[in-house]
Amino acid sequence: MTVIADVAGPAGAGSPGAPVQLSEHLWQVAGAGITHPWDAAAYLVLDGDPILVDCGSPLGSAALEAHLERIGVAPGDITAVVGTHGHFDHVGGGAILATAGVPILLHPDDRAAVAAGDPVRTCAGPLYGQAFPPVATSALADGDRITAGRVTLEVLHTPGHTPGSTCVVATVDKQRVLLAADTLFGGFSAAIGSDAAAWEVSLERLAGLDLDALSFGHGVSRLLDDPAGRIAEARLRFATYFDPWFKPPRHTFRY
Ligand SMILES: [Zn+2]
């Protein structure tokens, strides 16, 4: 494994930014300010075989690929993309990586929408005015454990935002890090299969986890401390008024 010391090169106005090293073996490689403004956070765990958790949209794919190469990872070297759910901003770039032979893993309850490029279920059409490049995925299941070097990724099925939403608990650099994607602060819409009752159960499950840090899909590009306190705060805010999490997170969440 090669980690270069300084990847924060110059980024002109409108240019993609640089990947952010969250801890020694954990990087944020996609997201607003990193790849494309619409991209959700995507993560690279790099301790042995490289694995991505989400991969952003096709609009950010070229920047993602450039970032990976700066870190020393060729797209074809990626063992798998662990998709947190089937939305354009999280796995819309999956078809491009799949052409390099990278398996895209997704919970079965979101796989059909992604295989068909369903514009509504993937949010690509209504939210972004884009087409979702269809991609055949492999099944991801609750309880799956993926290991690479000293890193372990545990998959939790956490339906609510979408039927097939998952969270990943990464044990990396002696920390248990929750990669919550849109299970924390994602939008609610019946059109994408959101389910408030299921979501509340999922949040209760997150509250029971033993964690050291967390990150979610549309937040700041660093690991947040006090995960238990932040999850408790999120649960208190959940559904207290219509669509409470559909504002930029910085307005509803303390950093
Ligand atoms: Zn989403």
Residue ranges per domain, the chain?
20-239
Distance 247 CA to ligand 1 centre (A): 13
Predicted confidence (pLDDT) per residue in 69-127, tens digit = 999 999 999 999 999 999 999 999 999 999 999 999 999 999 999 999 999 999 999 88
Tokens of 188: 């609610």
Tokens of 143: 């309880």
Percent above pLDDT 70 for the chain: 88
pLDDT on residue 246? 56
Alpha-carbon distance 169 to 68, whole Å? 22
For 213, how many CA atoms within 13 A lie in the half-sphere containing its CB?
17
Distance 1 CA to ligand 1 centre (A): 32
Distance 173 CA to ligand 1 centre (A): 27
pLDDT on residue 16? 75
Helix (H) or strand (E) holding 146: strand 145-148
pTM of the full structure:
0.89
Distance 86 CA to ligand 1 centre (A): 7
Q: Amino acid identity of 33?
A: G
The answer to whether the CB of 161 falls within 8 A of the CB of 65 is no
Distance 10 CA to ligand 1 centre (A): 30
Predicted confidence (pLDDT) per residue in 153-185, tens digit = 999 999 999 999 999 999 999 999 999 999 999
Query: What's the whole-number mean pLDDT along residues 142-157?
Result: 96
CA 9 vs CA 15, 36, 65: distances in Å: 11, 17, 15
Distance 181 CA to ligand 1 centre (A): 8
Distance 19 CA to ligand 1 centre (A): 21
Distance 161 CA to ligand 1 centre (A): 7
CA angle 59, 64, 65 (to 5 degrees): 110
Distance 84 CA to ligand 1 centre (A): 9
CATH topology of domain 20-239: Metallo-beta-lactamase; Chain A (3.60.15)
